Structure 1
Amino acid sequence: MPSPSLPDAPPGNWVDTRAPPGWRPYLRLMRADRPIGTWLLLLPCWWGAALATLPDGAPRLDVAHLALFAIGAFVMRGAGCVWNDITDRDIDARVARTAGRPLPSGAVTVRAALLFMACLLAAGLLVLLQFNLPAILIGLSSILVIAAYPFIKRISDFPQLVLGLAFNWGVLVGWAAVHGDLGVAPLLLYSAGIAWTLGYDTIYALQDIDDDAIVGVRSTARYFGTQVMTAISFFYAAAILFAVLALLRVTAGPIGYLGAIIFAFMLARQVMTLDPSNERSALAAFRANRAAGLVFFLALAADGWLRASL
């Protein structure tokens, strides 16, 4: 019998309704039923690629690169989730929201999960090899950060910082795929992404704050406690500040800055509507970051397109 739908998966998602029953545990293991994580890994890649089109003389945005990043984000997010679930399977079994995941529920064995992860990593490497050498090397250098993340929550109150380092590495890869090097602008945008992740993943961690306290998992949500809303606001404000500094560095046009303003408004709205004691409110605010990040990307892309057309 296939494992049941997980509580934070969107109702009626394609894995639960259309995927072959035998595939469902593996698709759930890689979070294919919850695409928000893929978007949050993909968008920084697209940000970096779009920002790279803004300096004078830069080439147009490469649609083939965007497609490769989409494929790469899907498989690498999946590989990261499998690794996270392998390392956290005992903890997940003790947390209500995660007890039904494929590994703690017994739907997938550890050996099968390791083999599946190896296949996903191989697919991710194949995608990465389509870029230039600097982008390949920068992409490969993220592996240590990704591998370390599941263990950080056991020793630090800021695992969200390490997640931010990993999830926004694509900014650097996206820029390097265009220019063949790094610079101040992509590093500023990378910093914006890290601060953004600190905000949205603190929101995400609010869902598990009680269970995490019982099993000993640490997070920024637990660390800031009653001041968590102030912390989220600070992280989001820092994200906008670094994003604007990145735009200034490449002398962005009005559309780029308009995108940053809308992005800031959408993040502020999350804070204003969030009820930190309500799991549904936290999940809704977390998911809202897909639209926020996509709006910012579209503004960067439109700015670059307009420059190339003049």
Structure 2
Amino acid sequence: SIALAAPPGSLPDVKMMTLFGCGALLLRGAGCTINDLLDRDIDTKVERTRLRPVASGVLTPFQGLTFLGFQLLLGLGILLQLNNYSRILGASSLLLVFSYPLMKRFTFWPQAFLGLTFNWGALLGWAAIKGSIDPSVVLPLYASGVFWTLVYDTIYAHQDKEDDLKVGVKSTALRFGDSTKEWISGFGLACISSLALSGVNADIGWPYYAFLTAASGQLAWQIWTVDLSSRADCNRKFVSNKWFGVFIFGGVLFGRLL
């Protein structure tokens, strides 16, 4: 959203991109730390997660809490570099950051909560540049991120579905079951449609839509070729989402420049 908020013909604010890059790492890192602390008993029973630092005993819970405090302190330092509107908006995301790890205990839709949490930066980046949010641009962008998360994290969750059943936690992979591809196809379509709407409302140039077409192809490829019964293939398709992100960022960048 920082690149999308740049004036036509201009590159995105490099300082702000750097701050947000560091902030994203810290926010996601803090979320992972909270998740590891809260799920340490569950993680020992799941093949993929049993070697996580707290679950495996490499770190004690107190050491994990200390590290979390360090992450949040650094995050606060970044937040204080922003305008007041963005500070309030950024601080409000902490409710999602702290509550997301608990969702798998209560709902089959933890991936939706992950999407709401991880994509908060779509709102924050625009606000950091403009001093407020433009709902017609930012809300479709935020929604697209949530839908994208529902695609890639549902694929990711299929790696753990057998273990999740054993330990009694929930996921969209378990909720959708054999209908997963139909569900994530719908989310993929909603993601691309939301990105297109955001671009139209932001009055972005034609390269954005060319890159969006390429991103659509990448998303369709992973959805229709993923073998949901193969942990290795689910992980490969999950990792391939980096290219979807590259296409979208490239589209925004060149759409603003040209």
TM-score interval for Structure 1 and Structure 2 normalised by the shorter chain: over 0.9
Per the alignment, in what secondary structure is the counterpart of residue 49 of structure 1?
coil
Distance 1:244 1:53 in 2: 18
| Residue 6 (structure 2) aligns with | 53
* Structure 1 residues 85-123: Cα deviation after superposition (integer angstroms, max 9, x where no partner): 000001001111111111111110000100110001100
Per the alignment, in what secondary structure is the counterpart of residue 50 of structure 1?
coil
* Mean CA deviation greater in 141-150 or 248-257: 248-257
Distance 1:90 1:71 in 2: 30
Structure 1 gap ranges (5+): 1-47
| Contact 1:199–1:235 under 8 Å retained in 2 | yes
| Residue 183 (structure 2) aligns with | 231
Matching of residue 287 in structure 1 with residue 235 in structure 2: no
Cα offset for 1:276?
A: 0.3
- The 5 A counterparts of 1:11-50 are 48-50=1-3
Cα offset for 1:140?
A: 0.8
| Residue 157 (structure 2) aligns with | 205
Distance 1:85 1:121 in 2: 16
- The 5 A counterparts of 1:126-145 are 126-145=77-96
| Contact 1:61–1:305 under 8 Å retained in 2 | no
| Contact 2:181–2:224 under 8 Å retained in 1 | no
Distance 1:162 1:134 in 2: 23
Cα offset for 1:59?
A: 6.4
Per the alignment, in what secondary structure is the counterpart of residue 137 of structure 1?
helix
Structure 1 counterpart of 2:186, which letter? F
Structure 1 counterpart of 2:82, which letter? F
* Structure 1 residues 191-219: Cα deviation after superposition (integer angstroms, max 9, x where no partner): 00000001110011000000001111100
Cα offset for 1:127?
A: 1.1
Cα offset for 1:53?
A: 2.1
Matching of residue 63 in structure 1 with residue 14 in structure 2: yes
Moved over 6 A (4+): none
* Mean CA deviation greater in 85-94 or 254-263: 254-263
Cα offset for 1:60?
A: 4.5
- The 5 A counterparts of 1:1-310 are 48-53=1-6, 60-183=11-134, 184-306=136-258
TM-score of the superposed pair, with normalisation by structure 1: 0.81
Distance 1:291 1:264 in 2: 11
* Structure 1 residues 134-190: Cα deviation after superposition (integer angstroms, max 9, x where no partner): 122111110001111011111101001100000000000110011111122111100
| Residue 22 (structure 1) aligns with | none
TM-score of the superposed pair, with normalisation by structure 2: 0.97
| Residue 26 (structure 1) aligns with | none
Using the aligned pairs only, state the percent identity.
Answer: 41
| Contact 2:108–2:170 under 8 Å retained in 1 | yes
Distance 1:201 1:148 in 2: 17
Per the alignment, in what secondary structure is the counterpart of residue 77 of structure 2?
helix
| Contact 1:236–1:267 under 8 Å retained in 2 | yes
Structure 2 gap ranges (5+): none
Distance 2:173 2:202 in 1: 35
